[in-house]
Amino acid sequence: MTYPKPIIQVKDLWKVYCMGEEKVVALRSVCLEIYQGEICCIFGTSGSGKSTLLNQLAGMEKPTFGEVFIRGTSVSRMSEEELAMFRQKYMGFIFQSYNLLPSMTAVENTAMPLMFRGVPREEREKIAVQMLERVGLSHRLHHYPGQMSGGQQQRAGIARAFAAHPEVIFADEPTGNLDSRTTEEIMEMIISFARRFRQTIVLVTHDPEMERYADRVIRLLDGRIVSNRIRSGGKEAKG
């Protein structure tokens, strides 16, 4: 019998920060595998190491020891230039603070990943409009972030993250600044896109309500994985 290969592999990952003469161990011997199409939620209280782990997975920081592999390639050994190209091709990001460029409209922000991939302007703007329409922002295409509510900005952030169909989406507290109703709407969108395109979601959160959306649930405490379990089918998007 053959088994699918994990799209993300973490092998004996350690991250140690030097704070003057003091050493702070943020991650301790973390090992895990995440498979294509999984929606993986990483839980932990403040200081548990969950955001540090997300940064390691996305290649934002280098590990002290150990390696992270995505699609069988070690992102831990890549140069900054190689990492930038790899992210453009295979990764998307959703942020708690939305991270939309204030001087760009919703269409321009959404089209940015496509621009980095060299997609012609007319084509990328067409795709951006389609994505924004899918997240219910057809009436905000040419609005700037400052002219949109928090929920609308996060919808635009989702459209941007999925526009280039990356294989892995990293989401850092994507609903942290939203009310409960908007949180559910945003998560339904993320799940819908992920299921449709069989994309992998790695979502960091402290909100226990997020567990119902997950296929895999990982819990961190003091930089260690204390639980890594598969749920019997994550929540399907409505509709």
pLDDT tens-digit profile of 38-83? 999 999 998 899 999 999 999 999 999 999 999 999 999 999 999 9
Which element (helix H / strand E) includes 123?
helix 121-134
Q: Which two tokens stand for residue 181?
A: 């109703």
Listed residue (75, 76, 87, 196) closest to 135, CA to CA: 196
Instruction: Judge whether residue 132 has pLDDT over 50.
Output: yes
Calculate mean pLDDT across residues 10-18: 96
pLDDT tens-digit profile of 73-86? 999 999 999 999 99
Domains of the chain are 35-54+80-230 (3.40.50.300)
Q: What pLDDT is stored for residue 235 in this prediction?
A: 54
Q: What pLDDT is stored for residue 237 in this prediction?
A: 43
Taking the CA atoms of 179, 151, 40 and 31 in sequence, report the sign of the dihedral they define.
negative
Calculate mean pLDDT across residues 161-190: 92
